[in-house]
């Protein structure tokens, strides 16, 4: 940087400090200019915020958005023309329904209906992809261009104007120490920057009908999306209604129980096919063993009437 440039930076810094800290007043801009500046500032904030919220509206999942952004960046680095798309919730739901519908069987009422609904919801995902593309091309990209070009250019003009104002105010307060020619040149540059900034802001606000056209494109894209979605859902509704009528017209199948298996108790040594071998019967006890009995421990002779001898007891046993 040249010596003159360093001096100018010093002048601006000194004036800024005197205004911020010392409370010195700088050159005031007219109210019309301030109103233009305020409207441009609001426009800038609106454009940035609307772009962000529109992206969230089209692609609600922040993790999927971040992943998609990374994949798109990698595709550009690799020179790939086609980049992966956003995983629409409708597509994920449709895949789930068709998967289990086919596993269950399309010949069943529930399985066939799952496949019908799943295929239609996958069509909704394709319609949603078309909405994303249309909104990006006709709404987000033009607004992004406005933010990157026109609004950024205005911010540059305003920043340059502020720098020249500080330079002029510093030299004006030191008039006498600084040559009058420098003060005059500083004033001319200040007015020049003010005019450039004012014209750029005025032109932006006067051509805001372009932003209205972009909003109209957003609405048209949404209308087209909803029309196509309604058409898909109407066709699906008719298909499900026909399926229900067909199911109700068919006679209900009665449950027929299967015959019970016959258990073969024939030959105990050989098991019949599907039969069961009977268990062996417990051994029969001796009938005599079931009768009451007693045993004499030693020989004796009966002494009283009704007594039995040891020989008699042994015979009873």
Helical spans, DSSP H, in 89-175: 89-104, 109-135, 141-145, 152-173
With bands split at pLDDT 50, 70 and 90, how would you rate the model's confidence at 160?
very high
Which domains does the chain carry?
Answer: 30-63+83-246 (1.20.1270.60)
pLDDT tens string 172-207: 888 878 899 999 999 999 999 999 999 999 999 999
Buried b (16+ CB within 10 A) or exposed e, 136-165: eebbbebbeebbeebbeebeebbebbbbbb
Report the C-alpha gap between 84 and 131 in whole angstroms: 16
Q: Tell me, what's the pLDDT at 193?
A: 97
Range with the lowest mean pLDDT among 36-40, 51-55, 285-289? 285-289
What is the crossing angle of helices 89-104 and 109-135, to 10°? Answer: 160
Specify the DSSP class assigned to residue 45: H
Buried b (16+ CB within 10 A) or exposed e, 87-105: ebebbebbeebbeebeebe
**Side-chain half-sphere of 79: how many Cα atoms within 13 Å?**
0
The pTM of this model reads 0.72
pLDDT tens string 21-31: 666 677 899 99
Tokens representing residue 248 in the block:
């109700």
DSSP 249-287: HSPPPPP-PPPPPPPP-S-SSS--TT--PPPPPPPPPPT
Report the C-alpha gap between 317 and 178 in whole angstroms: 154
pLDDT tens string 108-150: 999 999 999 999 999 999 999 999 999 999 999 999 999 999 9
Are residues 206 and 76 in contact, defined by beta-carbon separation less than 8 angstroms? Answer: no
Are residues 40 and 201 in contact, defined by beta-carbon separation less than 8 angstroms? Answer: yes
Burial class (CB in 10 A: 0-12, 13-18, 19+), 126: middle
pLDDT tens string 61-99: 888 877 777 776 766 666 666 666 889 999 999 999 999
Percent of the chain with pLDDT over 90: 55
pLDDT tens string 221-254: 999 999 999 999 999 999 999 999 998 888 888 8
Q: What share of the chain is helix, strand, coil (3-state, %, to 5)?
A: 70, 0, 30
* Residue bearing tokens 């305020």: 38
């Amino acid at each position: 940087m040249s010596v003159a440039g360093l001096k100018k930076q010093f002048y601006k810094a000194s004036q800024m400090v005197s205004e911020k800290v010392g409370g010195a007043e700088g050159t005031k801009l007219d109210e019309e200019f301030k109103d233009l500046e305020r409207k441009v500032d609001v426009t800038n904030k609106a454009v940035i915020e609307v772009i962000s919220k529109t992206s969230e509206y089209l692609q609600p999942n922040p993790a999927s958005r971040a992943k998609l952004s990374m994949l798109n960046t990698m595709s550009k680095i690799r020179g790939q023309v086609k980049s992966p798309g956003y995983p629409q919730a409708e597509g994920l739901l449709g895949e789930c329904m068709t998967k289990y519908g086919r596993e269950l069987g399309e010949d069943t009422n529930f399985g066939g209906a799952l496949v019908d609904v799943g295929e239609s919801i996958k069509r909704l995902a394709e319609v949603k992809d078309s909405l994303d593309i249309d909104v990006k091309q006709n709404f987000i990209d033009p607004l992004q261009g406005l933010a990157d070009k026109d609004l950024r250019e205005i911010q540059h003009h305003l920043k340059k104007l502020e720098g020249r104002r500080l330079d002029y105010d510093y030299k004006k307060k030191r008039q006498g120490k600084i040559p009058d020619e420098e003060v005059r040149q500083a004033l001319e540059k200040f007015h020049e920057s003010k005019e450039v900034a004012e014209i750029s802001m005025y032109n932006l606000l006067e051509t805001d009908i372009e932003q209205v056209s972009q909003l109209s494109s957003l609405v048209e894209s949404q209308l087209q999306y909803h029309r196509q979605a309604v058409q898909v859902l109407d066709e699906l509704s008719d298909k499900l209604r026909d399926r229900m009528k067909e199911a109700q017209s068919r006679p209900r199948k009665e449950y027929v129980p299967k015959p019970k298996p016959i258990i073969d108790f024939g030959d105990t040594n050989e098991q019949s096919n599907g039969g069961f071998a009977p268990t062996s019967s417990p051994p029969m006890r001796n009938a005599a063993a079931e009768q009451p009995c007693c045993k004499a421990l030693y020989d004796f002779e009966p002494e009283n009437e009704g007594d039995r001898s040891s020989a008699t007891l042994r015979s009873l046993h």
